[in-house]
Amino acid sequence: MSTAIRAASILPARREEIELHTADGLRLVGELALPADRDPVATLVCLHPLPTHGGMMDSHVFRKAAWRLPALADLAVLRFNTRGTSSVRGTSEGTFDGGDAERYDVAAAIEYAEFAELPNIWLLGWSFGTDLTLRHGCDPGVVGAILLSPPLRSSTDADLATWAESGRPLTALVPEFDDYLRPDEARTRFAVVPQAEVVGVPGAKHLWVGDAETVLDEVVRRVNPAVPVPLPTTWDGPMETGDASAYADRTVAAFADLPVPGEERG
């Protein structure tokens, strides 16, 4: 009997806690989710939103990607906490560095995916994670990148030029009502990257509340185009339910654009 896929639904997958090790000597915590009974077709390496405002590996779009896409789209999903970031999985060593030293974190995640022989590595950055993607993610091991709500805060014209020269696919999903960069301005800013695709998402906001399914469909459309979209909204097999209450404080902090209690604002 089919069961509706809801926000807390966890579909079958092989899941393992992982550790990444950076070139500057830090240990980062994460998780790798793989299709339950077959090899993945492609890989998503997720770079989360600003940790000083609640961003972490469990930010809701990434959590839903890890809980659904191995089963629905044959994707591997690698999530991790950048330096100094905490989640239910644990706290990564080090301290937040505003996107500079995080270059080592991005490199460690790509290196892990390569050593694990994960196929077709795509970066999936969200907000702060899009700046990490643009600044540090144009790596020979990366096939392409998808940006969610890119603010283009710390990314420079030189970073965009690097992506332009690489020729690697670059897609920006930009909410109609984003707080930082809206579709028309995004098209102007990304025009220097000939292969860049800017997709305006009607009615959406920076945090994608209520629009996670749209994001997942657009991601799958590019990373594994053999899978029909929209993705199914029901599941016929076994399904678990996650505890979303574990993320409530951080979600509220992100919605309010306020620092997480007890964490220093970046």
pLDDT at 257 over 70: no
pLDDT at 62 over 50: yes
Mean per-residue pLDDT for 11-22?
A: 98
164 falls within a domain: yes
What does pTM read for this prediction?
0.93
- pLDDT attached to residue 221: 98
Closest CA to 69 of 12, 116, 19: 12
Task: Give the Cα separation of 128 and 131 in Å (integer).
Answer: 5
151 falls within a domain: yes
Residue-wise pLDDT for 133-142, tens only, equals 999 999 999 9
Going by pLDDT thresholds of 50, 70 and 90, the confidence category of residue 259 is very low
Q: What is the mean pLDDT of the chain?
A: 93
- pLDDT attached to residue 1: 76
Closest CA to 129 of 156, 97, 104, 106: 106
Token representation of residue 174: 């930009």
76 falls within a domain: yes
- pLDDT attached to residue 261: 39
- pLDDT attached to residue 17: 98
| Residues written for the chain | 266
Residue-wise pLDDT for 69-79, tens only, equals 999 999 999 99
Mean per-residue pLDDT for 213-221?
A: 98
- The sign of the CA dihedral 132, 21, 16, 113 is positive
- pLDDT attached to residue 258: 41
264 falls within a domain: no
Give the CATH number, domain containing residue 185: 3.40.50.1820
Q: Which residue has the higher pLDDT, 243 or 106?
A: 106
Number of folded domains that form the chain = 1
Task: Give the Cα separation of 20 and 226 in Å (integer).
Answer: 31
Going by pLDDT thresholds of 50, 70 and 90, the confidence category of residue 246 is low
Closest CA to 181 of 134, 220, 247, 248: 134
Residue-wise pLDDT for 157-201, tens only, equals 999 999 999 999 999 999 999 999 999 999 999 999 999 999 999
Token representation of residue 127: 């907000």
77 falls within a domain: yes
Residue-wise pLDDT for 44-60, tens only, equals 999 999 999 999 999 99
266 falls within a domain: no
Q: Which of 45-49, 113-117, 231-235, 245-249 has the lowest mean pLDDT?
A: 245-249
- pLDDT attached to residue 264: 33
Half-sphere exposure (Cβ direction) of 76: Cα atoms closer than 13 Å: 24
265 falls within a domain: no
Going by pLDDT thresholds of 50, 70 and 90, the confidence category of residue 252 is very low
Q: In what order do the strands lie in the sheet with 42-47?
A: 14-21, 27-34, 75-80, 42-47, 121-126, 142-148, 170-175, 196-201
Provide the 8-state DSSP code for 230.
S
123 falls within a domain: yes
Residue span of the structural domain in which 100 resides: 3-256
